[in-house]
Structure 1
Amino acid sequence: MLTKRRSFLKSIGLGGLGLSYVHTLDAHTPQVGTQTTDISVVRIKGKVQAEGKGLAGVAVTDGINITTTDAKGNYELLSNASAEFVYIATPRGYEFTNQNGVARFYQPVKAVNGAFQAIFTLTKLTQDDTRHNFIVWADPQMISKEDAELFLQQSVPDTRKLLDSYKQKNNGQMPPFHGVGCGDLVWDHFELFDDYQKGVTATGIPFFQVIGNHDMDLTARTDEHSAKTFKSTFGPTYYSFNRGEIHYVVLDDVFFIGTAKKYIGYLTERQLAWLEQDLALVKPGKTVVIFMHIPANTGDPRRNKAKEEPIGGVVANRKELYRLLQPYKAHIMSGHTHFNEKIVTGDNLVEHVHGTVCGAWWTGPVCFDGTPNGYGVYEVNGSTIEWYYKSVGHEKDHQMRLYPIGASKEKPDHVVVNVWNWDPAWKVEWLEDGKPMGPMTQETAFDPLSVELHEGTAKPAKHKWVEPQLTDHLFFAKPSVAASKIKVQVTDRFKNIYTQEMDVKHS
């Protein structure tokens, strides 16, 4: 009987919950006052179609198990009443179904007599999506209408201007483009989701959403209920989609521990089991892009000589994520930290920790590592991805900030440059009065502008707890006493060259 029971539980998506939970299924009379979960069988079926014809091979999921449509576009899932949504991984070559820009690739499950039907109708793209682009908005994190106005009057128009530039280069037609709100869309004030959605609509491109720690219901008793408002607004918290040759996955790595504003970076077994199924449909060697709010890893503990990793700052069980991504060329996109960082691991993995849309919580023009308020821009050609960081209010070639002698407290006789999107494939060199002087010296230090704006208990006035944070993307050089002009030349991993010059003023 036990073997049959395990087979049944697996068929309805509960096989991995363990025998301690299975035992409760045998209790014919629940205890008074307990909350029970309905796990009765629900048969979900339907069709994925376009232009009146069924689409074969489209992945369909209830968030527990994944199936694919047959040759006529039909599918069937044996699910259970705990499933909240049925949703698809939009295949390449098709538009992202959306409502005013917010991706709607799902349908809430509303079973009647143990059955539910969902039909998904897609529209074919008018352009080849082998080449496409996307942007990542990390942490709009609005706590007030004042913040929302800054978002709508600064960040959104800047994004719109950038998108228009791509449209102009594409003969007046917007190339395939999508966006991802990478969590902390608001700052615990759910009424501001409306303002976030206004911003999405204004961009004119479809956006997918990631749940952040400030997008959760803080009165929930467990993590399972903490995404109730987010789900009612944006749908599932983990899912996948395809565009061109890239497979994209959104994950929920914020685990609420039942106390307001307390959480850890963690991927649940249910998600990991789902992800294994999802990636099983992707050929090894393909490019996979993962979006989640909390970074899998950062250099922050190393920079601050911490004995332990902050449990809310990185993903505790990231090794399993890395294992699942090993067969692929992978990128992990995150936000959360309010600093910008790239972590490159071998040939297969790049982790992009994004500077934020709100900077240091809408207190001024920079994050607390000196990275400008902004967002990531990614250009895809086949399986290859190139990227840059777009600073709000600046042109796309604004990729560094050069400071004069005396700006850095740590090295007052040096010039310093902050190259916020730096990774080990970049070169940062300098010239003195036209003479090449070689590479600048990379050091961990504080950005001078962040120190000016954020250091001390009295500033910034809006959020006095903001302080400068150590960063690795600062580079130093000591001009000679006779120097009159220095020039910094930065070459990124894609061979783009950026320069900035400055007159030397000796004290």
Structure 2
Amino acid sequence: MQRRSFLRSLGLLSAGLALPAAPALARAVAFVTRQVNGKVTAQGRGIAGVAVSDGYSVVLTDQQGRYQLQPHYDARFVFISLPAGYEIPNEQGIARFYQPLDPAAAQQVADFALQAMKGGDERHSFIVWADPQMRNNGYDAEQFHTTSVPDTKAHVATLSHGPVFGIGCGDIAFDHFEVYEDYKKGVAAVGIPFFSLIGNHDMDYTARTDNGSQATFNQLFGPTYYSFNRGKVHYVVLDDVFFIGAGHRYIGYITEEQLRWLERDLKFVPAGSTVVVAMHIPSNTGAQAREALKEDPIGGVVMNRQALYKLLQPYKVQIISGHTHWNEVWEQDNITEHNLGTLCGAWWSGPVCGDGTPNGYGVFEVNGSDISWHYKATGFDRQHQMRLYKPGAVPGKPGSFMANVWNADERWAIEWLEDGVAKGAMTPYTGLDPLAVELYEGAEKPSRNKGVEPNITSHLFIATPSATARMLTVKATDRSGKVYEERLMLNA
């Protein structure tokens, strides 16, 4: 556990390829008063009430779909908060809801032409890929294309209630930006539009400050923070990875400019609405308590999260994050956070993350303002939601067996049966997943990435069967009442 922990070290990461940051604007150009005019239309008719932003101010289109704004001198894009009921503009699956700003132009026209969606989108679904994190376009990219992409495409086909979109939840690359082409090909093959957000491995570490660290991402995917709407849900994407200007170090932090923008963006969202916030570093996790840390790991959670929570207080909030390479769901007050297991698992070094969660992705199904979710393990069907271990797998409890129910939260019921006889609830347990220990613990494992170690997790459950038990069954019931079941046969 001592050899690898980017959650305890200011985000200190291995060095990798980084492209040079875009040159700063000349001061004479930066202070030119600029004006952007445009129109948001569908089939030639203006759309009223669409939020348009430069990342600083937010304005609404008028009855004819027209808008006007004066961009901030640091603004790089003008973008729309895509209204509900319209198709997501995209290029081979990569969402294009923005236009770059010309820093030398005093006047600029930026029009947005949308297409109305047949059947509406009050019911819709979305897929979240956390940390594809390909280090190279060899083995990592091959695994991405031959396992993750076809699995996602097949699962999308089962989501029959309304349109489906995707979110790439950061660390698309592992510092080597040439793999972005592989990512884009994968997105195109899945066949749904994907929104993208920046992770710590997607930054230019040659930049002198955080402001320049998004240059490559900006060129390929547009702004690093923005919003859009699907049905009755308002979606917000944030950049919470703050480069501190030295090495590969960063902290989890949301800048003041983003918080101000979010405050303005949310003024047009009615209180009580469902708001989904996607960002790379989780706002919070249970790691501090599980690992008995004196304080939060500043590279592993958002240090100024209370400011974010305050802005989100009037809403029903789902936060979706990646970064940690484990799976965890927590809930407090009006917020539920899904810190998702990763597409690459333990950096493409094995079939599971450090907490035993299978390589996979999050799936969220939306009906009006209600959201249900499940975790989809790559290579398994939707029912695969737990792994069982025979007695002897629990340190210090040789008679106990274990269930790892990776997407369980406090509202799940985890029960067990012995030879068909109900025995009640299993006991929550915090520790290491036995498969993760087998694959990753020790200085020589795994062979492809010796820095990987298993993580302490709290989504484990144990119980002690009788000495004569032949078959153990675990029934896990999620918060929506869906039941998952696995059986474990013991030797006679």
| Cα distance in 1, alignment partners of residues 99 and 486 from structure 2 | 51
1:139 counterpart = 2:125: no
Matches within 5 A, 1:314-463: 314-346=301-333, 348-463=334-449
The offset of 1:217, in angstroms, is: 0.2
| Cα distance in 2, alignment partners of residues 161 and 113 from structure 1 | 46
Match of 1:274 in 2: 261
Structure 2 residue corresponding to 1:188, chosen from 160, 164, 175: 175
Match of 1:125 in 2: 117
Alpha carbons 1:39, 1:82 under 8 Å: kept: no
Alpha carbons 1:137, 1:180 under 8 Å: kept: yes
| Cα distance in 1, alignment partners of residues 73 and 314 from structure 2 | 34
| Cα distance in 1, alignment partners of residues 396 and 329 from structure 2 | 24
Unaligned runs of 5+ in 1: 1-32
Q: Letter of the aligned partner of 2:101 in structure 1?
A: V
Alpha carbons 1:216, 1:229 under 8 Å: kept: yes
The offset of 1:38, in angstroms, is: 1.1
Match of 1:149 in 2: 142
The offset of 1:180, in angstroms, is: 0.1
Matches within 5 A, 1:20-419: 36=27, 38-110=30-102, 113-145=105-137, 146-166=139-159, 169=160, 175-346=162-333, 348-419=334-405
Q: Letter of the aligned partner of 1:136 in structure 2?
A: V
Alpha carbons 1:188, 1:215 under 8 Å: kept: yes
Render the CA deviation track for 1:98-121: whole Å, top value 9, x for unaligned: 000000000001255511110000
Whose Rg is larger?
1
Q: Letter of the aligned partner of 2:246 in structure 1?
A: T
The offset of 1:41, in angstroms, is: 1.3
| Cα distance in 2, alignment partners of residues 198 and 91 from structure 1 | 27
SS of 2:201 mapped into structure 1: helix
Alpha carbons 2:356, 2:404 under 8 Å: kept: yes
| Cα distance in 2, alignment partners of residues 310 and 429 from structure 1 | 34
SS of 2:70 mapped into structure 1: strand
Match of 1:19 in 2: none
| Cα distance in 2, alignment partners of residues 78 and 502 from structure 1 | 65
| Cα distance in 2, alignment partners of residues 484 and 358 from structure 1 | 36
| Cα distance in 2, alignment partners of residues 333 and 34 from structure 1 | 34
The offset of 1:407, in angstroms, is: 2.1
SS of 1:388 mapped into structure 2: strand
| Cα distance in 2, alignment partners of residues 425 and 488 from structure 1 | 16
Identity of matched residues, %: 55
SS of 1:500 mapped into structure 2: strand
Q: Letter of the aligned partner of 1:326 in structure 2?
A: Q
Higher relative contact order (CA 8 A, sep 6+): 2
SS of 2:34 mapped into structure 1: strand
| Cα distance in 2, alignment partners of residues 471 and 462 from structure 1 | 23
Answer with 73-82 or 131-140: which moved more: 73-82
| Cα distance in 2, alignment partners of residues 467 and 293 from structure 1 | 21
TM-score (normalised: structure 1) = 0.90
SS of 2:132 mapped into structure 1: coil
Render the CA deviation track for 1:184-210: whole Å, top value 9, x for unaligned: 001000111000111110110000001
Report the count of equivalent residues.
Answer: 467
TM-score (normalised: structure 2) = 0.93
| Cα distance in 2, alignment partners of residues 113 and 421 from structure 1 | 50
* RMSD between superposed Cα atoms in Å: 1.4
